[in-house]
Amino acid sequence: MRWWRKRDAELERELESDLELEEEEQRENGLSAEEARYAARRAFGNETLIREQTHEAWGWMRLERLIEDLRYAMRLLMRAPGFTITCVLILAIGIGATTAIFSLVNTVLLRSLPFPESDRLVWVSQQDHSLPGVAPESLSYPDYFDWRAQNHTLDGIASYTGATVTMELKGESQRLDIQTVSSNFFRVLGAAPMLGRDLSWEDEKPGNHAVMLSYSFWQSQFGAEPEIVGKSITMNGHSYTVAGVMPEGFEFPIENPAPVFWKSIADEAEGKSPASEQRGFDTLSVIARLRQGVTVEQAKADLSVIAGNLARQYPDNNKQYSSALVEPELAHMTGDTRPAMRVLFGAVSLVLLLVCANVAGLLLARGSKRSAEFALRAAIGASPAAIIRQLLLESLSLSLCGGMAGIALAFGLIRAMLTLMPVEIPRIESASIDGRVLVFVLIVSVATGLLFGAFPAWRLSRSAPARALREAGRSLAGGRAQHRLHNGLVVVQTAIGMVLLIGAGLLMRSFVRILDVNPGFDSKHVLTSRVGVPFDETKHDQHYIFYQQLLERISALPGVQAVSAGWPLPMSRFNATVSFNIQGRPVAMGDQPSESLGLAMPGYFETMKIPLMAGRDFGEQDGLTGQPTIIVNQAFARKYFPHDHPIGQHIQVGVGDGLFEHPVREIVGVIGDIKRKGLTADADPQYYLPYAQALITNPYLVVKTNGGPAAMQAAIGAAVHELDRSVPVYQAATMEEYLYKSAAQPRFQTFLLSCFAVIALALAAIGLYGLLSYMVVQRTFEIGLRIALGAQRGDALRMIVLRGLTLALAGLVLGMAASAVLTRLISGMLFGIRPTDPLTLAATAALLLAVSVAASCVPAFRASRLDPMKTLREQ
């Protein structure tokens, strides 16, 4: 502020010197010293006015006034610390919660991808026309190569697919999550290695094994040694040359766990029937960079032409994939979380609105105590505009303080939410308060301040000064209109509270339903893990014998009830759908049905408590040399054998493992349905092959224990290592954990919305309590008089409680009406329950009314305890 003081001083000096010169001149004209001074002042004019006009010329007048008013507002707030702290705390809750949710939205949905010109990056897939709606299907290598060669709209198109590999690190075999990527992968993303070279087209050819290390892997495993470039590392028993190291922070695909390195697709082109030549082997995710100026639609049309041609050219594999899907990468990545984020943000906005109404009520009550102050100001010439400005500045200072406290609260809330958050939401872990969030807080604080300050300010500016001054001494102040406004605010708060309560109630009921779902298996005391038995080095029978021996050893461990192995584990993200044909029902190659494939060792269904409905389980007879067999679930039997008995039918599945190449299998059993994808998804048709006859991936060990399963983990690891030290054990978890994770998203949503509802209920109750207390204070005289004239104390009590109940009922009805519209928005998040669930509505209404009555009772009791003599004497 120093510079404008200096400016003032300079103006003073300038005016002073003018006066002095004038005075001198007047003296020279023969006037006495005193006369000269007066004359000079006359000639000069009104000094104060000139000073003010000059200030105005500087253009700072408004700001000066503003700062003065702001200082005054701050002083007033400091003088009522109780009121100020209450308001700031309430505002902090509202703004803090809103900020925390916004920072999540910002991180997940709004922040752009960390790549140059990331808006040109698109997710690319092919549409499966045999399924309804949008059904993306991964690409095969031959498809990908054709798309890469024939498109006219892309600067580049890259493939990537996840893999886990075994690697010897620090003397121990470990399983690592990596990505197999086309050589232009990094160029398409716009990233370059910080060390070494980029992958080149040569690296896609057989034999040219190359890897690109991530920064963190290079740091942790190779001590950040720059000489690593050009050296070779060994994984899965093969050697790979390190091409380079990516810079710190580079990560793609953005998922958990992040890939530790990226290997070239050279090894996909090797072997007897390489993946790079199988058009039906759809495993690739694809990302592309649009050419400058090309739209998503144009790219989609371009790629669809290619897909259409391929479908005609290769009907056996591509018949149903005759068009392309293209979507901006960011939108694709965050698509699933969008509706939930929108609902959470909507809910927290309602909380903020409620906070505004609440604080407005507080200001209104306080304002009527100050009506004398403002009447006096108006009487001595303050314009309504000046009074409104003063009051708005007060509410703005309140909301800005609330905003600052809110930021502090948001820091804590974000941390808490991240620990509760299901980790599947991409990018969520980097949620933080950045510049955009701070701007958001500022805007929200100002908007909040204006919103909750506007009503009370408008009311107060309109009070007639004469009346207000006359009545100021008595506590009858506050006109009818003001009461109506205050009542309205309380009704709005109750209504918002009702809406949030209904929303939370519905989610809670739906969540209970989810937990009640029978998953089709028993997760209690089941421990699971995988062992990385290498496929290339071990012979077929050795591989299976390893598992047999392992299961034997584990079953001999104390505390183990049952043990087996199977794949995929329900609720894990793995899945494979493989086409098949049923004997006696010939179809064309491209029209074959395909369903979800599973693998099981004998005893798997028993261990998982998946019921056998007909036929038998796999046994020793379904081994490496036995007859090819298959077990289907009930959904499969219902879909494909609605009229026949499934046992004894024959199915040929398109799976080969070298030993068993697409044999015709006999159905030997039917098992119960299980929730494979999640508790809320329908059980889908599934078939299981005996693991011995389909050695295509390492299955999950499932171990049923007597007590806590987690304690068993070490013993299982030891059993594996007794058999073979070089085989790593990974993905150890209990089945309960898988179940818990599958309900993580609804649990999180329910938890957050319930928190909001509790806050809303508390604030609505505080608002009602505040209004009634204020009413009792205002009507002390009247109530005292009534009691003195013979009214029963119970009457006073009833009057206040009835008043509270009326307001609560009004809010309740309004809230019900509003939620009839709003709950439709969350119907997609509900499971097994309709948005108009009568039980939820009734319970919510009862809770709200009970809390309202409780909030009314305290002021009502106070009213009934009034001492009439004392009251009348004091008034």
Partner 1 sequence: MTIEQARQRANLLQGTLDMLILRTLLYGPMHGHQIGKNIQRTTNDFLQMQHGSLYPALHRLERRGWVTSKWEMAPDRNREFKYYRLTDKGRKQLVVEESQWKQMAEAVARIMWPAAEES
Smallest distance, Å, CB 16 to partner 1? Answer: 11
Smallest distance, Å, CB 73 to partner 1? Answer: 25
Smallest distance, Å, CB 377 to partner 1? Answer: 18
Q: Is 47 in the site for partner 1 (CB under 8 A)?
A: yes
Of 637-676, binders to partner 1 (CB under 8 A) are: none
Smallest distance, Å, CB 41 to partner 1? Answer: 9
Largest Cα–Cα distance of the chain, in whole Å?
Answer: 136
User: Which residue, 43 or 442, is less far from partner 1 as judged by CB?
Assistant: 43
> 751: buried, middle or exposed (CB in 10 Å: 19+, 13-18, 0-12)?
middle
Smallest distance, Å, CB 25 to partner 1? Answer: 8
List 4, 32, 38, 43, residue binding partner 1 (CB under 8 A): 43
List 4, 32, 50, 542, residue binding partner 1 (CB under 8 A): 50
User: Which residue, 13 or 484, is less far from partner 1 as judged by CB?
Assistant: 13
Smallest distance, Å, CB 849 to partner 1? Answer: 57
The structure tokens listed for 121 are 């990056």
User: Which residue, 18 or 119, is less far from partner 1 as judged by CB?
Assistant: 18
The amino acid sitting at 409 is L
The contact mask relative to partner 1 for 2-21 (x = CB under 8 A, - = no) is --------xx-xxx-xx--x
The amino acid sitting at 621 is Q
The structure tokens listed for 456 are 């009370």
Residue 752, classed as helix, strand or coil, is helix
- Point out which residues pair with 665 in neighbouring strands: 651
Smallest distance, Å, CB 50 to partner 1? Answer: 4
The amino acid sitting at 145 is F
Taking CB under 8 A as the binding criterion, the range among 55-63, 177-185, 481-489, 680-688 that sits at the site for partner 1 is 55-63
**Contacts of residue 341, Cβ cutoff 8 Å, sequence gap at least 6:** 104, 105, 108, 109
Q: Is 678 left (phi over 0), alpha (psi -120 to 50) or beta?
A: left
Calpha distance 129→126 (Å, rounded) = 9
User: Which residue, 381 or 435, is less far from partner 1 as judged by CB?
Assistant: 381
Given a contact cutoff of 8 angstroms between Cβ atoms, the answer to whether 354 and 94 are in contact is yes
Taking CB under 8 A as the binding criterion, the range among 51-59, 391-399, 557-565, 845-853 that sits at the site for partner 1 is 51-59
Calpha distance 793→864 (Å, rounded) = 5
Taking CB under 8 A as the binding criterion, the range among 42-50, 87-95, 175-183, 593-601 that sits at the site for partner 1 is 42-50
Of 548-577, binders to partner 1 (CB under 8 A) are: none
Q: Is the dihedral of CA 159, 320, 687, 521 positive or negative?
A: positive
> 471: buried, middle or exposed (CB in 10 Å: 19+, 13-18, 0-12)?
middle
The amino acid sitting at 459 is R
Q: Is 49 in the site for partner 1 (CB under 8 A)?
A: yes
Taking CB under 8 A as the binding criterion, the range among 36-44, 80-88, 135-143, 544-552 that sits at the site for partner 1 is 36-44
**Contacts of residue 534, Cβ cutoff 8 Å, sequence gap at least 6:** 166, 236, 237, 727
User: Which residue, 24 or 336, is less far from partner 1 as judged by CB?
Assistant: 24
User: Which residue, 25 or 327, is less far from partner 1 as judged by CB?
Assistant: 25
Smallest distance, Å, CB 403 to partner 1? Answer: 34
- Point out which residues pair with 233 in neighbouring strands: 240
User: Which residue, 40 or 653, is less far from partner 1 as judged by CB?
Assistant: 40
Of 58-117, binders to partner 1 (CB under 8 A) are: 58-59
For every residue of 345-394, DSSP letters joined together read HHHHHHHHHHHHHHHHHHHHHHHHHTHHHHHHHHHTT--HHHHHHHHHHH
Calpha distance 373→80 (Å, rounded) = 15
Smallest distance, Å, CB 66 to partner 1? Answer: 19
User: Which residue, 33 or 57, is less far from partner 1 as judged by CB?
Assistant: 57
User: Which residue, 59 or 642, is less far from partner 1 as judged by CB?
Assistant: 59
Q: Is 44 in the site for partner 1 (CB under 8 A)?
A: yes
User: Which residue, 7 or 462, is less far from partner 1 as judged by CB?
Assistant: 7
User: Which residue, 17 or 561, is less far from partner 1 as judged by CB?
Assistant: 17
Q: Please compute Rg for the chain using Cα positions.
A: 38
User: Which residue, 43 or 515, is less far from partner 1 as judged by CB?
Assistant: 43
Of 436-465, binders to partner 1 (CB under 8 A) are: none
Nearest residue to 98 (alpha-carbon basis) of 420, 434, 349, 382: 349
List 31, 54, 83, 488, residue binding partner 1 (CB under 8 A): 54
Given a contact cutoff of 8 angstroms between Cβ atoms, the answer to whether 697 and 485 are in contact is no
User: Which residue, 55 or 129, is less far from partner 1 as judged by CB?
Assistant: 55
Smallest distance, Å, CB 381 to partner 1? Answer: 11
Q: Is 385 in the site for partner 1 (CB under 8 A)?
A: no
Smallest distance, Å, CB 13 to partner 1? Answer: 8
Smallest distance, Å, CB 27 to partner 1? Answer: 15
List 12, 56, 68, 297, residue binding partner 1 (CB under 8 A): 56
Alpha carbon dihedral 727, 732, 735, 740, in 10-degree steps, equals -150
- Phi (first) and psi of residue 745, to 5 degrees: -65, -55
Total binding residues for partner 1 by CB under 8 A? Answer: 23
HEC profile for 667-728?
EEEEECCCCCCCCCCCCCCEEEEEHHHCCCCCCEEEEEECCCHHHHHHHHHHHHHHHCCCCC
User: Which residue, 49 or 78, is less far from partner 1 as judged by CB?
Assistant: 49
For residue 668, what are the CA distances in angstroms to 498, 562, 657?
56, 22, 21
User: Which residue, 54 or 538, is less far from partner 1 as judged by CB?
Assistant: 54
Given a contact cutoff of 8 angstroms between Cβ atoms, the answer to whether 207 and 266 are in contact is yes
Smallest distance, Å, CB 61 to partner 1? Answer: 11
Smallest distance, Å, CB 18 to partner 1? Answer: 5
Contacting positions for partner 1 (CB under 8 A): 10-11, 13-15, 17-18, 21-22, 42-47, 49-50, 53-54, 56-59
